[in-house]
Structure 1
Amino acid sequence: MGFQDLHLFNLALLAKQGWRLLRNDDSLLYKVYKAKYFPNSSLFEAKAGASSSYVWNGIWEALDCLRKVCRWRVGNGQTIRIFKDPWLPDGVSVSSLIEVDENLKVHSLIDASTGWWNVHMMRALFNPNLIQQILKLQISVNSEDSLYWSHEKTGSFSVKSAYCFLQQNQHLSYWQSSSGNSEAVFWKSLWHLKLPKKMKIFAWKACQEKLPTYLNLKKKYVLDDAACVLCNQAGVGVVLRNHNGEVVVACSKVEKEVSFAEFIEAIALLRGLQLCVQWGVPKLMLKTDCLILVNALNENSECLTDFAFILQDIRRLMAAFQEVKVVHVNRLGNLVAHLLARHVWLINDICMWWDFCPSFISQAIWLDQLAICKDL
């Protein structure tokens, strides 16, 4: 039937009920449970209790799954506690360089006049690596803080991803120790394999999380940040062409504090729209090789992560045109934009070409024009 462990599958279903309570705190069911089981705390801080109902005990057991995977999307920051609530990607913990109130809210890190992060405030509280993680988050002071499910791109809970998480978590717990009976059999078999000793030691270290990975070095405070040192910035490439495929303007731009691939593609789309608005282009066809972005814009589907904030900006600009189409192309069909994006490693901020194309994209432009001629 698609699942192997009935207990974990049942927990995933119960976690779905917990997710519904989190997302619908104005429902009658939520109000009844809150009045009885957590009148003076949040759902995540609720207790089971000796006289709890069978249903509540089941939901309470599944809350641990939600606690580990759910993250806060920062809106105005009024709800989220900086040091106690999970609001940074990948479960990055927040610690301060100085002694501050442990119940301090995220809104204290936001500049009310600009609606963006107060960098001066953060420099006084956090180390530079943590600040870079925070600056990657998109915020909207006009929106409420909300929870999202971090194991789905859209941020919406799914039983499938919850079940996969529970399986992985169970397997991780199972192999963390080599002292149990079944584990002992595994380790005994490993050490008796006819392999070089260094390979067996490497396998043991990998299973025991003892390899010097970025994440493990961060846990031991050898490194301050688990992110790749090459991922602090990215480049976007934008090209505006007429119906014949001729270049009107091309642009390469450095974007700092980016978080994931879809976000970079969305930023490129946003920059292209901003450029076309200034040029007074009435009709536009937007091409990208990011299918997730295309579906999100064409289907107007719900997104619960901070990715939704940039989607709002894109939709707002799209409304300024007489006609806009968002279409998906394969990576080769978007080669010109990718070449422009790679060019940012040779510039400091932005580089633009008007009415002609730079030499490093000329061949890709020519190939695109051939494809347009074939379509005609």
Structure 2
Amino acid sequence: MRIKDLIYLVAKNWWEIYSHPESLLAQIFKGVYFPKVSLVKAKKGWRPSYAWSSIWSTKWVFERGGRWKIGDGRQVDVRRDNWLPHGSPIIYSEDLLVELNINNVSDLLLSQGRMWNRELVEHVFCPNTALQILSLPLSVHGGVADSLFWTGSIDGVYSSKLGYSFIKDHDARSQTSASLAVSPLPANLWKKIWKSNAIPRCKELAWRAFCSLLPVRDSLWRRGVEVDPTCPLCGEENEIVSHLWLNCPMSKCFWFAYSLGLRLDSFSSLPEFLLQFLADADADDGAISRWLSASYALWEARNKVIFQDRPFSCDVVLQRAFQLELVDDPTSTPFHPAIEQAVSWCRPPQGLFKVNVDGSWRSDSTSGLGMAARNHEGLILAAAADVVERTSSALETEALALRWSIGLAISLGFRRVCLETDCLKLFQLWKKPPDGRNYLATILNDCFQYCRSFDFISLSFVRRPGNTVADYLARHASSFAGCVWIEEVPPEVETFVTADILASMPPV
């Protein structure tokens, strides 16, 4: 093999060699072409060629953008490798690691890598690091090897396009801007907004809101305009952009009732929300266009309250948002009361048990899980709620809720089950599971292994109004942590159960 062919092969398969050092390809390069030094740990050398210098100079991209997924923990060094979501571990004392003989992550695991040794983790690491470690989801079946995954993709698989975007975002973050109007939002996320089907004025409003360029009352008051700075909708706090979009009780009611069913309690600013929302949403699934249309409808309703003295009505704003969606996409369905009935909870066929699942993500605290199982008459057979350590994303929380609910269904003796979730992305991954390497793939693989215990199992997507019981249990899981109810639910949930039974009654 010629030298230039070897260099080309290394460059083409760099990520495969880096993420799977135990693979045949990596062993060939390590044992034949690089007999003394692994390619991952190779040095630049003296007077390197231009090709090798180019390959070696990109090593930092994979070291910073890639992260180890913990399987059995045998390949991951506790101190040197990148395996935690938020930086390197903070250890109380290095002597503890030597004294307790802790070298690899496997030394922190119990039951053949199926659970963390909580007592040991909390003894060795500081509270913040211990929380990060305990929040990493492990396979409940064990036998999973460690692997590197790319943190910037849903399935954890690296591509040159993602690497290029990572480098651009890194360069953008390293440069300081003197202008306050320059947005810190990465360019690839802005492209999702500009390429959406929303009408131009909705896109412009989102940009002005993100850059704090809207004439909200608090901003006008600070600039010397004689105006009441309080919010015209609720009158409780000063009207700033983040309050109007995220914290105002009236806008919260609207966002929850809207088809996206957004929960905004965990976000402190609009840029923080947009970064998470745009990173999770796909440009072609319509979610971005709907959010832009809804934002414009909310701003329009706010202006009518101020300048036309019209009362704020959630139903009116919802209708206006659906009208703007119809302008964005001629194929979308206009608002009609029958639509709300169509997305309510439906009874399963006789002989099947319907299990509704939901997860409530909190970026700064524990996340909640909720589950409700009912028969063909709508009667509650079982319900449960629990909490998990701080998870990395809403999608991961929804996947954990699904795995937890399937495990409960097996324990309760259900063998013919139809599952329902209000997370569209999770439903899409269930239908076409990716060949992923991250924690999300581990959780889904556990779910598929659980499915072998059922005679029949399916997963369906339902809108938020059809998942109210599980949603309530997930959002209030901190009050019901670890509770399982058999043939009953908490008193505050009975209203939702009764409403579902009445809405699902067959016509006379």
The TM-score normalised by the length of structure 1 is 0.72
CA–CA distance in 2 between the matches of 1:295 and 1:143?
24
Question: Could you say if the C-alpha distance between residues 15 and 359 of structure 1 is closer, same or farther in structure 2, counting changes exceeding 3 Å?
Answer: farther
Aligned match of 1:133: 132
Counterpart residue identity of residue 308, structure 1: A
Larger relative contact order, structure 1 or 2 (CA cutoff 8 Å, min sep 6): 1
Q: Report the 3-state secondary structure (helix = DSSP H, G, I; strand = E; otherwise coil) of the residue aligned with 2:58.
A: helix
Residue among 455, 461, 464 paired with 1:322: 455
Counterpart residue identity of residue 283, structure 1: R
Aligned match of 2:28: 31
CA–CA distance in 1 between the matches of 2:466 and 2:12?
40
Aligned match of 1:120: 119
Question: Could you say if the C-alpha distance between residues 95 and 375 of structure 1 is closer, same or farther in structure 2, counting changes exceeding 3 Å?
Answer: farther
Aligned match of 1:87: 83
Q: How far apart are residue 76 of structure 1 and its match?
A: 1.6
Q: How far apart are residue 86 of structure 1 and its match?
A: 0.1
Across the aligned residues of Structure 1 and Structure 2, the Cα RMSD in angstroms comes to 3.6
Aligned match of 2:484: 352
Task: Answer with 106-115 or 65-74: which moved more.
Answer: 106-115
> Is 1:98 aligned to 2:98, yes or no?
no
CA–CA distance in 1 between the matches of 2:362 and 2:381?
35
CA–CA distance in 2 between the matches of 1:327 and 1:270?
15
Deviations 1:18-49 (A, max 9, x none): 2133245545587347754x544443432233
Pairs within 5 Å for 1:1-376: 17-23=13-19, 25=21, 26-28=23-25, 31-32=28-29, 35-36=32-33, 39-50=35-46, 52-99=48-95, 100=97, 104-111=103-110, 115-140=114-139, 142-175=143-176, 231-347=364-480, 349-369=481-501, 372-373=504-505
CA–CA distance in 2 between the matches of 1:359 and 1:56?
68
Give the gaps of 5 or more residues in structure 2: 1-9, 180-218, 224-267, 269-360
Q: How far apart are residue 373 of structure 1 and its match?
A: 4.5
Q: How far apart are residue 55 of structure 1 and its match?
A: 4.0
Q: How far apart are residue 283 of structure 1 and its match?
A: 1.3
Q: Is the 8 A contact 2:90 2:126 kept in 1?
A: no
CA–CA distance in 1 between the matches of 2:157 and 2:68?
12
Question: How many residue pairs get matched?
Answer: 317
CA–CA distance in 1 between the matches of 2:504 and 2:159?
41
Q: How far apart are residue 308 of structure 1 and its match?
A: 3.0
CA–CA distance in 2 between the matches of 1:229 and 1:254?
11
Q: Is the 8 A contact 2:135 2:391 kept in 1?
A: yes
Q: Report the 3-state secondary structure (helix = DSSP H, G, I; strand = E; otherwise coil) of the residue aligned with 2:86.
A: helix
Identity of aligned residues (%): 29
Q: Is the 8 A contact 2:134 2:389 kept in 1?
A: no
Q: How far apart are residue 96 of structure 1 and its match?
A: 4.3
CA–CA distance in 2 between the matches of 1:310 and 1:229?
19
CA–CA distance in 2 between the matches of 1:308 and 1:72?
13
Q: Is the 8 A contact 1:155 1:304 kept in 2?
A: yes
Give the gaps of 5 or more residues in structure 1: 1-13, 179-194, 200-212, 214-227
Question: Could you say if the C-alpha distance between residues 106 and 356 of structure 1 is closer, same or farther in structure 2, counting changes exceeding 3 Å?
Answer: closer
Q: Report the 3-state secondary structure (helix = DSSP H, G, I; strand = E; otherwise coil) of the residue aligned with 1:262.
A: helix
Q: Is the 8 A contact 2:30 2:37 kept in 1?
A: no
Deviations 1:185-224 (A, max 9, x none): xxxxxxxxxx99x99xxxxxxxxxxxxx9xxxxxxxxxxx
Q: How far apart are residue 249 of structure 1 and its match?
A: 1.9
Q: Is the 8 A contact 1:339 1:360 kept in 2?
A: no
Task: Answer with 58-67 or 247-256: which moved more.
Answer: 247-256
Q: Report the 3-state secondary structure (helix = DSSP H, G, I; strand = E; otherwise coil) of the residue aligned with 1:353.
A: strand
Question: Could you say if the C-alpha distance between residues 96 and 153 of structure 1 is closer, same or farther in structure 2, counting changes exceeding 3 Å?
Answer: farther
Q: Report the 3-state secondary structure (helix = DSSP H, G, I; strand = E; otherwise coil) of the residue aligned with 1:319.
A: helix
Q: Is the 8 A contact 2:65 2:151 kept in 1?
A: yes
